Structure 1
Amino acid sequence: MDTCEEPPTVSLMPTYSKGPQAKMSAQESCLSLIKYFLFVFNLFFFVLGGLIFCFGTWILIDKTSFVSFVGLSFVPLQTWSKVLAISGVLTMGLALLGCVGALKELRCLLGLYFGMLLLLFATQITLGILISTQRVRLERKVQEVVLQAIQSYRENPEDTSAEESWDYVQFQLRCCGWHSPWDWISAHVLRGNESQPRVPCSCYNSTASNYSTVFDEPFSQLSPLAPRASPTQSSDPCSLPSSANIYREGCAQSLRKWLHNNLISIVGICLGVGLLELGFMTLSIFLCRNLDHVYNRLAGFR
């Protein structure tokens, strides 16, 4: 009995291995995940930069409302409002590059984003090295600036940003002068003398006061704990004698104590910011270098 066997059918369609396609699909999914991760985080920083810019602009335009909100009249508004506004604009610009570059998969924007992050990271590293190696020279320079600000205290009513900043430092760090309250002898506007120098009201130690000293009216605006009294010379800067209840410690020592007590927090914040920048740089350059490579290989399997 003859058996008829059917000839084997030969398929003319090419057969492809699923391995390379699966590998390319996994790489594409990974790149998509990185792309949206970069987009979401940069979108967050874009909104944050916008809030910082709006806050700085609000301080710059409407100082009265901000002063009433904070409750301190000697906050250096002019300087810090500009710093906040510029920081907000830079943050928004950098985040916008990351958002658009990641979402639209534009290699030029991703490369520019990586370059700006690298420049920012290198600047921070350079500043850290300079502060560590030039600490003595930096401290001497700060001392010269502070003593100059003390000597010219309130002599120019149109430019008081440095004096307001130093008043704020004394108020926050609970100190007076750079080395001691005797540094204020050189302040001509306060009319101090060698036996009884006068100091600004930001040196006032409200926690150790019995409220028996009479001060000028402007000091009542500096702190809610300050005693209120009838104004004596409202056009003159608020001052009080060195025999009053003032901080006896210089700000140089207080600043060293503050840095020593907050060293772990400062180092932690710097490391966190540096690692965040390194992470964004790594993701952006990885996405920039692998976008065209993966899509070209996927096109070859179609």
Structure 2
Amino acid sequence: MDTCKGPPIVSLVPTYSKDPQVKMSAQESCLSLIKYLLFVFNLFFFVLGGLIFCFGTWILIDKNSFVSFVGLSFVPLQTWSKVLAVSGVLTMALALLGCVGALKELRCLLGLYFGMLLLLFATQITLGILISTQRIRLERRVQELVLETIHSYRANPDETAAEESWDYAQFQLRCCGWHSPRDWISARTLRGNESEGPFVPCSCYNSTATNDSSGFDKLFLSQLSRLGPRAKLRQTADLCALPAKAHIYREGCAQSLRKWLHNNLISIVGICLGVGLLELGFMTLSIFLCRNLDHVYDRLARYR
């Protein structure tokens, strides 16, 4: 008779509960987490879109202060303010769909939210492919538009939006002309006599060459006599120009633009990737929530 009996064997294999209600409770908690996560993120973008819209509207309403700040007329500033306002409205509309669809668990709104995000993502991908494959043609088209704008600079006083936008580009990029300041020789309204030589717009003025910290805005005032005999301004109500022999930027805007893109390439690519990943994340959450809401609730109703 065997009296040596060891301790009872305890199984180390975990036992999982086969209760369907426990599984449904876990799935419901996961969906609730996704729902509120989607709601919070879209609420943030709704507020962000509202701020962008308010900023664009503020520029339109308080145009005088912004015009005096940037030193330009209102036409290009008005264009950018409209772009900001429209972008803010679209961001608010898209975020509102995500907020209401996630909070109220409405499959139609979640599906519409997913569709709009997918359309936006596809548009961005298409634009990126077109820009990369048609880069040479795009550069040639931009060059044609710029040279045409330079040739007809201030020729028509009623249509000055393109000229003012190009003035702003020269001022921001610190350049003159597309290839070089010699491009302005073709401008009919800036041709001087043989003694004066060709003229260029005041946006070509290099304030750092003369330690003039205020720079561009002073050129639109008749206070530049201290710059010497070579900087005599030809200034009317719609035109401000100075001789090409004065202190101007000697680099063309094409080269300045290439330098700017090269210096900011990592930031541009990082922002594009961040936006794309964010859109993919929102699309994944919305479609997951949209596809699983009714299935979970049907199963819960079956076990009750």
Normalised by the length of structure 2, the TM-score is 0.84
Instruction: Name which of structure 1's ranges 185-194 and 18-27 shifts more when overlaid on structure 2.
Output: 185-194
1:259 to 250, 258, 261: 261
Gap change, CA 1:117 and 1:192, over 3 Å in 2? farther
**Deviation for aligned residue 1:216:** 10
Gap change, CA 1:216 and 1:121, over 3 Å in 2? closer
Identity %: 82
Q: Is the 8 A contact 1:79 1:161 kept in 2?
A: no
Match of 1:22 in 2: 22
Gap change, CA 1:282 and 1:200, over 3 Å in 2? same
Match of 1:92 in 2: 92
**Deviation for aligned residue 1:217:** 6.3
Gap change, CA 1:99 and 1:258, over 3 Å in 2? same
Q: Is the 8 A contact 2:157 2:238 kept in 1?
A: no
Ranges of 4+ aligned residues in structure 1 off by more than 3 Å: 192-195, 215-218, 229-234
**Deviation for aligned residue 1:243:** 0.6
Distance 1:40 1:20 in 2: 30
Q: Once the two structures are superposed, what CA deviation does each residue of 1:227-281 show, in whole Å capped at 9, x if it has no partner?
A: 7x99864424111111111111100011111111111111000000000000000
Q: Once the two structures are superposed, what CA deviation does each residue of 1:141-179 show, in whole Å capped at 9, x if it has no partner?
A: 000111111112222333322222211111111110000
Match of 2:291 in 1: 289
Normalised by the length of structure 1, the TM-score is 0.85
Gap change, CA 1:162 and 1:177, over 3 Å in 2? same
**Deviation for aligned residue 1:22:** 1.6
Distance 2:159 2:263 in 1: 33
**Deviation for aligned residue 1:192:** 4.2
Match of 1:239 in 2: 241
Q: How many residues align?
A: 277
Distance 2:147 2:199 in 1: 15
Match of 2:7 in 1: none
Gap change, CA 1:51 and 1:299, over 3 Å in 2? same
Instruction: Name which of structure 1's ranges 24-33 and 135-144 shifts more when overlaid on structure 2.
Output: 24-33
Superposition map of 1:72-87 within 5 A: 72-74=71-73, 76-87=76-87
Give the RMSD, CA atoms, in angstroms: 2.5
SS at match of 1:243: coil
SS at match of 2:200: strand
Distance 2:186 2:210 in 1: 26
**Deviation for aligned residue 1:193:** 6.2
Superposition map of 1:49-60 within 5 A: 49-60=49-60
Match of 1:183 in 2: 183
SS at match of 2:29: helix
